[in-house]
């Protein structure tokens, strides 16, 4: 991929005031320059963790395990403990696992590393200590080693378990050394996202009971405190108490100020996916014009504030233009936050069309190449696309991302989970009935009429769409084909995990026995920030000079999931939660060692 630098991605010096934050000049030079209004009683601890999401919980648990006292600070209320991890599907990238071997999958560290490099496309100074990808590459090496070795046993020892049918996400662009997973590696946690965070929440709550961890909810950090070039604490605003439910927008009314002191501060505050303006401002040119309309896959509090605040304290931000957004977003008919969207996790069989009903070219196939498909869609001049499918495909292949959309897995209900093999999950059927993006019809003319009515256009032509569907359907008459999607369906059916639960038997879209026909308008769904604070393998935040800033660490999405961009340009899926775990552990252990007496 081309090397490009986009305009100041997380540089929020000019925008933080509008966001409700204040970057006082005193944060850059120490307490003497702070305005008098910032003065507040100071609370001290061995470490401060900013952000109570998964990476923050892991870091805090590691510090407490080493006997350190921790102040865990978050602008939201206690209902949001665990952050975005709570809402996740709980997918984890594991290599050569027991679950893979049970499914007959032959995987290895070498194959995983080949896939990671082919996907990441690191090209920004991998061998140059000043390069943006220098530490990202080292983090990627370390993480693939972790995912191939200790990761499963570590989590298993904490009580985490996985659904035995390993998923095959991001199947790639068609070449062995290119993008994508060569084999299934997406391990769905039994209990989904809440079960991933549960052992670390328990550890932290136990540490609270022992007096080692103190929660500081509704404490919004507005600046880092610097003393002689070292980070020695945080300061900010106390927000009024909030009883808002998890994920629901909370008040930003300030009722006081605070200052906290510690020899180390770990920033684990997440990315920018809840701020559409920031997403558009940093949208990479290689993905086309930013969408005019997007829906949101993360709560509104995922606002990117700490990226600008940490940069203002001297941190280096790298890979500013790298991000990860989904192309299969549907509007939530029962939204929790503004513009709340849910992602369809598709099997391989739905026909993917652009806004005019033209079939997307490769790699625009369901489940193959998220960002490759995003570019294809944006190149059409429209910010949405379509699945045209059948009830038979929908029932077997549609899953929805999110813990709340998977009550069978989240609640560890074995009979209900097994029912996915022979019936459509109830949440999918509810979206089909209530979701504004769904069109259901018995005939193709009726389907086309509904699609055009939904968008208020006449972009879909019945004769053209029928021609394209007929062309695809003819390719199913033989056990061989030139159609890459039909090849992919046959490939999926050769894998037991897909055949049992994720791939419908190959059939014609216009087969009357597979009806009704279903069309789904797919929206761009914001999600992850792939660039961020550059860190070394200990999680220490680096300055533009390449030197660590004393006392400052970062982990999770705010650090590009490690090193300022461990994924490079693209991700292999199951690697976001996993890298919050890994980078939180690295930073927590390093900070504990740094504060040893």
Length, in residues, of the chain: 597
Task: Please tell me the predicted confidence (pLDDT) of residue 33.
Answer: 30
Average pLDDT rounded to a whole number, residues 149-172: 96
Q: Identify whether residues 374 and 311 lie together within a single domain.
A: no
Q: Identify whether residues 432 and 539 lie together within a single domain.
A: no
Task: Please tell me the predicted confidence (pLDDT) of residue 38.
Answer: 42
Q: Identify whether residues 86 and 228 lie together within a single domain.
A: yes
- Band of residue 29 on the pLDDT scale cut at 50, 70, 90: very low
Residue 91, domain CATH: 3.50.50.60
Q: Where is average pLDDT lowest: 32-36, 464-468, 510-514?
A: 32-36
How many Cα atoms are found within 13 Å in the side-chain-facing hemisphere of 495? 25
Task: Confirm whether 457 is domain-assigned.
Answer: yes
Token pair 């490769």: residue: 362
Q: Is the pLDDT of residue 351 over 80?
A: yes
CA distances from 105 to 168, 278, 555 (A): 11, 41, 32
Q: Identify whether residues 478 and 509 lie together within a single domain.
A: yes
Task: Please tell me the predicted confidence (pLDDT) of residue 151.
Answer: 98
Both tokens assigned to 498:
């897909």
Token pair 């061995």: residue: 46
Q: Is the pLDDT of residue 16 over 60?
A: no
Average pLDDT rounded to a whole number, residues 529-555: 98
- Band of residue 10 on the pLDDT scale cut at 50, 70, 90: very low
Average pLDDT rounded to a whole number, residues 257-269: 97
Domain that includes residue 346, residue range:
327-525
Q: Which of 381, 407, 273 is nearest to 329 (CA)?
A: 273
Q: Is the pLDDT of residue 30 over 50?
A: no
Q: Is the pLDDT of residue 337 over 80?
A: yes
Q: Is the pLDDT of residue 357 over 60?
A: yes
CA distances from 547 to 28, 225, 370, 406, 540 (A): 17, 18, 35, 45, 9
Number of domains in the chain: 2
Task: Please tell me the predicted confidence (pLDDT) of residue 6.
Answer: 37
Task: Confirm whether 9 is domain-assigned.
Answer: no
Token pair 């208020």: residue: 456
Q: Identify whether residues 353 and 316 lie together within a single domain.
A: no
- Band of residue 14 on the pLDDT scale cut at 50, 70, 90: very low
Task: Please tell me the predicted confidence (pLDDT) of residue 420.
Answer: 85
Report the share of the chain in percent with pLDDT over 90: 90
Q: Identify whether residues 387 and 444 lie together within a single domain.
A: yes
Task: Confirm whether 379 is domain-assigned.
Answer: yes
Average pLDDT rounded to a whole number, residues 560-586: 97
Task: Please tell me the predicted confidence (pLDDT) of residue 41.
Answer: 57
Q: Is the pLDDT of residue 194 over 60?
A: yes
Q: Identify whether residues 577 and 510 lie together within a single domain.
A: no
Task: Please tell me the predicted confidence (pLDDT) of residue 63.
Answer: 98
One DSSP character per residue, 240-308 reads PP--PPTTS-----EEEEEEEE-SEEEE----STT-HHHHHHT--GGG-SPPS--EESS-TT---HHHH
Look at residues 487, 503, 525 and tell me which one is the last residue of a structural domain.
525
Average pLDDT rounded to a whole number, residues 147-170: 97
Residue 333 DSSP code: S
Q: Is the pLDDT of residue 474 over 60?
A: yes
**pLDDT tens per residue across span 181-190:** 999 999 999 9
Q: Is the pLDDT of residue 2 over 60?
A: no
Note whether 194 and 99 are within 8 A (CB): no
CA-angle at 52, arms to 46 and 58, nearest 5°: 70
**pLDDT tens per residue across span 427-438:** 999 999 999 999
Both tokens assigned to 400:
């929805």
**pLDDT tens per residue across span 438-471:** 999 999 999 999 999 999 999 999 999 999 999 9
Q: Identify whether residues 336 and 463 lie together within a single domain.
A: yes
**pLDDT tens per residue across span 286-332:** 999 999 999 999 999 999 999 999 999 999 999 999 999 999 999 99
What phi and psi, each to the nearest 5 degrees, are found at residue 380? -75, -15
Q: Is the pLDDT of residue 11 over 50?
A: no
Task: Please tell me the predicted confidence (pLDDT) of residue 328.
Answer: 98
Task: Confirm whether 337 is domain-assigned.
Answer: yes
What phi and psi, each to the nearest 5 degrees, are found at residue 245? -70, 165
**pLDDT tens per residue across span 394-422:** 999 999 999 999 999 999 999 998 888 88
Q: What is the mean pLDDT of the chain?
A: 92
Q: Identify whether residues 471 and 576 lie together within a single domain.
A: no
Pairwise CA distance, residues 486 & 477, whole Å: 11
Task: Please tell me the predicted confidence (pLDDT) of residue 40.
Answer: 57
Average pLDDT rounded to a whole number, residues 60-81: 98
Look at residues 476, 494, 525 and tell me which one is the last residue of a structural domain.
525
Task: Confirm whether 23 is domain-assigned.
Answer: no
- Band of residue 174 on the pLDDT scale cut at 50, 70, 90: confident
Task: Confirm whether 150 is domain-assigned.
Answer: yes
Q: Identify whether residues 569 and 521 lie together within a single domain.
A: no
Q: Is the pLDDT of residue 164 over 80?
A: yes
Average pLDDT rounded to a whole number, residues 471-497: 95
Look at residues 485, 509, 525 and tell me which one is the last residue of a structural domain.
525
Average pLDDT rounded to a whole number, residues 78-106: 97
Pairwise CA distance, residues 368 & 593, whole Å: 42
Q: Which of 481, 469, 464 is nearest to 508 (CA)?
A: 469
Both tokens assigned to 99:
């679950």
Q: Identify whether residues 489 and 538 lie together within a single domain.
A: no
Q: Identify whether residues 309 and 337 lie together within a single domain.
A: no
CB neighbours of residue 539 within 10 Å: 31
The residues, ordered by sequence, that sit 6+ positions from 49 with a Cβ below 8 Å of its Cβ are: 56, 59, 60, 63, 70, 71, 72, 73, 265, 266, 268
């Amino acid at each position: 991929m081309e090397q490009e630098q986009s305009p100041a991605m997380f540089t929020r010096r000019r925008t933080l005031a509008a966001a409700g934050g204040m970057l006082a000049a005193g944060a850059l030079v120490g307490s003497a320059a702070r305005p008098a209004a910032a003065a507040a009683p100071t609370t001290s601890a061995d470490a401060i963790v900013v952000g109570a999401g998964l990476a923050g919980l892991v870091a805090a648990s590691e510090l407490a395990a080493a006997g350190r006292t921790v102040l865990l600070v978050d602008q939201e209320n206690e209902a949001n403990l665990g952050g975005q991890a709570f809402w996740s599907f709980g997918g984890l990238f594991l290599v050569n696992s027991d679950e893979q071997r049970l499914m007959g999958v032959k995987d290895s560290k070498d194959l995983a590393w080949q896939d990671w490099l082919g996907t990441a496309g690191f090209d920004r100074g991998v061998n140059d200590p000043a390069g943006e990808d220098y530490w990202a590459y080292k983090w990627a090496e370390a993480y693939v080693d972790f995912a191939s070795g200790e990761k499963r046993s570590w989590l298993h020892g904490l009580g985490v378990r996985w659904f035995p049918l390993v998923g095959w996400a991001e199947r790639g662009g068609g070449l062995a050394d290119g993008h994508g997973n060569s084999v299934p590696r997406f391990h769905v946690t039994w209990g989904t996202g809440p079960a991933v965070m549960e052992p670390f929440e328990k550890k932290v709550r136990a540490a609270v009971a022992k007096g080692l961890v103190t929660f500081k909810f509704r404490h919004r950090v507005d600046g880092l405190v610097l003393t002689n070039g070292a980070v020695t604490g945080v300061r900010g605003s106390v927000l009024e108490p909030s009883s808002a439910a998890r994920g629901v927008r909370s008040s930003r009314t300030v009722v006081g100020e605070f200052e906290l002191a510690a020899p180390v501060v770990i920033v684990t505050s997440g990315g920018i996916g809840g701020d559409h303006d920031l997403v558009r401002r940093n949208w990479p040119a290689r993905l086309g014009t930013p969408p005019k309309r997007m829906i949101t896959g993360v709560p509104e509090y995922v606002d990117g504030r700490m990226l600008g605040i940490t940069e203002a304290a001297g941190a280096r931000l790298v890979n500013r233009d790298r991000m990860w957004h989904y192309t299969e977003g549907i509007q939530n008919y029962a939204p929790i936050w503004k513009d709340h969207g849910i992602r369809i996790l598709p099997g391989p069989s739905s026909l993917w069309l652009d806004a005019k009903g033209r079939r997307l070219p490769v790699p625009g196939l369901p489940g193959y190449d998220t960002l490759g498909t995003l570019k294809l869609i944006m190149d059409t001049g429209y910010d949405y696309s379509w699945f045209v499918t059948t009830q038979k495909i929908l029932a077997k292949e549609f899953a929805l991302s999110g813990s709340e959309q998977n009550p069978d897995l989240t609640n560890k209900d074995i009979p209900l989970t097994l029912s996915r093999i022979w019936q459509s999950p109830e949440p999918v059927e509810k979206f089909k009935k209530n979701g504004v993006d769904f069109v259901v019809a018995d005939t193709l003319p009726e389907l086309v009429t509904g699609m055009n009515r939904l968008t208020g256009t006449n972009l879909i032509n019945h004769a053209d769409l029928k021609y394209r569907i007929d062309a695809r359907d003819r390719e199913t008459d033989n056990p061989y084909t030139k159609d890459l999607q039909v090849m992919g369906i046959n490939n999926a059916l050769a894998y037991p995990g897909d055949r049992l639960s994720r791939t419908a038997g190959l059939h014609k879209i216009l087969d009357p026995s597979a009806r009704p026909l279903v069309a789904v308008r797919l929206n761009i769904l914001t999600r992850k920030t792939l660039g961020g604070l550059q860190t070394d393998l200990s999680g220490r935040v680096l300055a533009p000079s390449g030197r660590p800033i004393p006392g400052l660490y970062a982990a999770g999405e705010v650090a590009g999931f490690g090193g300022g961009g461990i994924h490079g340009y693209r991700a292999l899926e199951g690697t976001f939660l996993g890298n919050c775990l890994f980078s939180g552990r690295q930073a927590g252990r390093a900070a504990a060692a740094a504060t040893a007496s």
